[in-house]
Structure 1
Amino acid sequence: MHELSLLEGVLSIIEDNADTQGYTSVKKVCLEIGALSCVEPEALRFGFDIVMKNSVADGATLDIVTMPGQAICQQCGCETKVFELHTPCPDCQSFSLDIQSGLEMRVRDLIVN
C-alpha cells in the first residue's frame, strides 16, 4: 500500500511547515488528489490516524477532494475532463489523449493552531 508512504510525505510537509510557520498543532488536513493518480482515498483515510500519531497532526481530521483529470486530444484538439486513464475522446473517439493534469496529489489546506 503506497498510500502509507504518501502519508509519511504529507506528515513531512506538515512538520516542515510547523517549524517555519510556528504552529504547534493541526486540526484539519485537506488533500487534493487527481482522479488519475492511482491513489486510493479509502486507503489514505485508513492510514491517516496511524501515520499522524504522536505528531503535530495527531487527532487532525482528513478531508479529501478528488479533482478530475484534464486532457487534450492529439487528433482533434478537444479539451476534456477525464476520470480514468485510457478514456476515448468524447468528440472523435480517439484514444490519443494527452493528459495535462489529474496525476498529482497535494496538500491543499491545513487548519492549524
Structure 2
Amino acid sequence: MHELSVCQALVSQLEAVAAQHGGGRVELVKLRIGPLSGVEAALLRQAFPLAAAGSVAEGAELQIDAAPVVVQCQACGASGEAAPNRMLCPACGGFRVRTVSGTEMLLESVELSAPAAEML
C-alpha cells in the first residue's frame, strides 16, 4: 500500500512545519486530493495513524476534501468539471482536453497547538 509511504512523507512535512512554528503538536491536517492523483483517501485515512505514531502528528485529525476534475477544451476553450472516467469538454463534448485540476494532493492547512512552554 503506497498510501503508507505517502503518509510517512506527510508526517515528515508536518514535523518540519511544527518545528518552523515553535514545536507545537499537530491538531488538524487538511488535505485536498483529486480523483486522478493515484491516492485513495480511505487508505490514506487508515495509514495516517500508523505513520503519525510517535510524532508531533500523533492523534491529529485528518480532514480530506475531494478536488473536482476540471478540464479545459483545446477545441472550443471552455472549462468545466468532468467525470474522472469521462474526460470530455462540458460545452462541446470534445475529447481534446487538458486537465486543469483533479490530479493534485495538496496540504491545504495545518493547525498546531501552542508549545507547552507557552501554555504556562
What pairs up with 1:1-113 in 2 under 5 angstroms?
A: 1-113=1-113
In 1, the alpha carbon distance for the partners of 2:3 and 2:94 equals: 32
One-letter amino acid of the structure 1 residue matched with residue 101 of structure 2: S
* Alpha-carbon distance, 1:103 to partner: 0.9
- Segments of 5+ residues of structure 1 without an aligned counterpart are none
Secondary structure (helix, strand or coil) at the match of 1:6 reads helix
- TM-score w.r.t. structure 1 length? 0.90
What is the count of residue pairs matched by the alignment? Answer: 113
Alignment RMSD (CA, Å): 1.4
Ranges of 4+ aligned residues in structure 1 off by more than 6 Å:
none
- TM-score w.r.t. structure 2 length? 0.86
* Alpha-carbon distance, 1:53 to partner: 0.3
* Alpha-carbon distance, 1:24 to partner: 2.5
Q: Sequence identity of aligned pairs in percent? A: 36
Q: Note if contact 1:86-1:95 (Cα within 8 Å) is conserved in structure 2.
A: no
Greater share of strand: 1
Deviates more, 1:93-102 or 1:46-55: 93-102
Structure number with bigger Rg? 2
In 2, the alpha carbon distance for the partners of 1:11 and 1:27 equals: 12
